[in-house]
Amino acid sequence: MSKLKFLSNPPRFLFFTGKGGVGKTSLACAAAITLADSGLRVLLVSTDPASNVGQVFGIAIGNNITSIPNVLRLSALEIDPQTAAQAYRDKIVSPVRGVLPDSVVKSIEEQLSGACTTEIASFDEFTGLLVDSNLTADYDHIVFDTAPTGHTIRLLQLPGAWNDFLEEGKGDASCLGPLAGLEKQHSQYKSAVDSLADPKRSRLILVARAQKTALREAARTHEELAAIGLTKQFLVINGLLPQAEIVHDDLAIAIFHREQKALEAMPAVLNQLPCDRINLKPFNLVGLSALRQLLIDDELFDSTKGMDSIHHAISFPTLASLTDEMTKDGCGLIMLMGKGGVGKTTLAASLAVSIAKRGFSVHLTTSDPAAHLHETLSGAMSNLVVDRIDPHVETERYRQRVMQSKGAKLDAQAKALLEEDLRSPCTEEIAVFQAFSRIIREAGKKFVIMDTAPTGHTLLLLDATGAYHREIIKQMDQSITHYTTPMMQLQNPKQTKILIVTLAEATPVMEAANLQGDLRRAGIEPWAWVINNSIAAATVRSPLLCQRAGNELAEIERVATQHAKRYAVVPLLADEPIGIEKLLQIMQ
């Protein structure tokens, strides 16, 4: 059916996972189409909170199984985490409402309002597709866009006995509520994890780009999943620039050699995996025609063959012009947000060195566990302090504080349960939020530039900020009339400027627009958009890159006229922007 290793003799379940921006959704959709076109019945399922499977196909899908037009035997489903979480909350709370005191019911609802509830509720729906044969009896293959994370699976493996712990009122830990309600489905979850770990039933496909950060993230994901028994994995390196494109094009030559260098230095654990390499295509991966061409052998088609052209760099608003405006107040919080893989870390570092060079005091930090700020800067300069919110350090600090306070009053059994709960992902979320709150208070005296984690994690962080805001207001002495919570600071454009970072491609722009909508619903208005790594803003001769530059123009126009109040475009650079001097070149 296909020469690609990851589609050779495929088992019933296929799971695509990887860092944001590497092409998981495109590959999952293309694989599903390939299987369906070969005569098999296929269900494509997205478990991504920011799913764009519907946009890729150009139809509305949602939380119901929907047939894909013009692809016989292919249907799709988007699991909505928020809908799943609300249904799960209702299932737990409804039976006790009116039976237990209102204060107890409210406490249960608060325990079920966090990120872990959403994560577990989504997995609850996900496991049904793996375990309940009646739900998927009509399909030969189930293709998942985004596999469950190691965090999710470890959460499900926490021990039981939470119900007694809750009833005795011995703790105020983060994950007890969600886990207590799910204990009855423990056997179903065990069956789901067993299915994931069985190569005869399931195949995990790690997707990466030929970039150091993406390959490091793929290696981390591989080790995290292998540690819990999911060892049989495949690797796909997506979006490689073909060597044929480097003739007489300095930018193409630089990109090609940068990618080859990253592949040569690929982490050893990835070299052991069956691997496919898929070349960059000249077209946007939206619509059936494009998706059907993604996995076809390149020699079977070449839409740029015979082209002899040059694309001259187009002048757009620059990041330097935005920086001029941002520095007028002399201090403030600047947060860069967007999906993974769009270059937030590099742009945050560029802004930091540029503002510090102007003589301002700058604190550059990140809440992204995969970020490497020091490596990007590759040097030090006056006025600039660089650090990161280390989830492991902050979580350990939080654990010790909880054990010394709440844990000191518990007996041995209760203390053991509390220690177990404090190893959950929710604990990390709370700890990171507390560190985040400490840092943004500095923005009243200096510039604080924060490179945030990918979009889903950022929104969870903002959810925590909102919950903190509501709790402060609820507990505040009514005689206090002047106060500022972290959420109020994020909502104040005088204090905080949100920069949404994206690429000039259809899917990243759609996802950035969705992020902007989520922020606005939280009362946070993005200040500007930054379109990064633009080929349209560079001069190229490669036929493939010329065609992609032309494709970018419609997306840049869409950002400028429909989405952004102000925007900047950063060109794709020949030299990787590492080191202070090259970071400053981004501003030119």
- Where exactly are the structural domains of the chain? 9-205+282-296, 319-392+442-474+484-585
Cβ neighbors of 168 (< 8 A, separation 6 or more) are: 414
Least confident segment among 65-74, 143-152, 230-239, 400-409: 143-152
pLDDT for 422-431, tens place per residue? 766 567 767 7
**Is 153's pLDDT higher than 80?**
no
Please provide the average confidence, as pLDDT, over all residues in the chain.
Answer: 81
Residue 220 pLDDT grade (very low, low, confident, very high; cuts 50, 70, 90): confident
Using the predicted structure, report yes or no on whether residue 416 has a pLDDT greater than 80.
no
Residues 147 and 166: their CA atoms lie apart, in Å, by: 31
- Minimal CA–CA distance to 432: which of 387, 391, 489? 391
pLDDT band at 465 (very low <50, low <70, confident <90, very high): low
Q: Identify the H or E element spanning 260.
A: helix 250-264
Name the nearest CA neighbour of 552 among 565, 566, 533, 573.
533
479 or 58, which is more confident:
58
Q: Compare 156 and 160 and report the one with higher pLDDT.
A: 156
CA proximity to 448, closest of 530, 524, 335: 335
Q: Give catalytic residues, as residue numbers.
A: 21, 23-26, 48, 507
> Do the first three CATH levels of 9-205+282-296 and 319-392+442-474+484-585 match, i.e. the same topology?
yes
At residue 29, the pLDDT reads 92
Is residue 274 within 8 A of residue 234, CB to CB? The reply is yes
CA distance 385 to 378: 13
CATH architecture, domain defined by 9-205+282-296 = 3-Layer(aba) Sandwich (3.40)
Spatial CA neighbour of 135 closest among 190, 64, 72, 74: 64
pLDDT at 264 over 80: yes
The average pLDDT across 32-50 equals 88
Q: What is the pLDDT of residue 2?
A: 64
Q: What whole-number percentage of the chain has pLDDT above 70?
A: 80
| pLDDT, tens only, 118-128 | 666 777 777 77
Tokens, residue 255: 């990109």
Predicted local confidence at residue 351, as pLDDT: 96
| pLDDT for residue 564 is more than 80 | yes
Superfamily assignment of 319-392+442-474+484-585 in CATH?
A: P-loop containing nucleotide triphosphate hydrolases (3.40.50.300)
pLDDT at 170 over 50: no
Vertex 345 angle, CA 422 and 434, to 5°? 30
pLDDT at residue 110, as a whole number: 65
**Given the structure tokens 């190691």, which residue do they identify?**
150
CA distance 211 to 81: 30
Q: What is the pLDDT of residue 271?
A: 94
Query: Has residue 444 got a pLDDT over 90?
Result: no
CA-wise closest residue to 558 among 548, 545, 569: 569
**Which residue from 53, 40, 51, 46 is spatially nearest to 11, judged by alpha carbons?**
40
Greatest Cα pair distance in the chain: 77
Q: How far is CA 492 from CA 124, 495, 576, in A?
A: 38, 5, 35
Q: How much is the pLDDT for 384?
A: 93
Give the predicted TM-score (pTM) of the model.
0.80
Q: Residue 217's pLDDT band (boundaries 50, 70, 90)?
A: confident
> How high is the pLDDT of residue 453?
59
Q: Which residue has the higher pLDDT, 533 or 437?
A: 533
CB 191 within 8 A of CB 158: no
Give 181 or 503, the one with higher predicted confidence. Answer: 503
Least confident of 6-15, 200-209, 248-257, 425-434: 425-434
- Nearest CA among 430, 411, 468, 436 for reference residue 175: 430
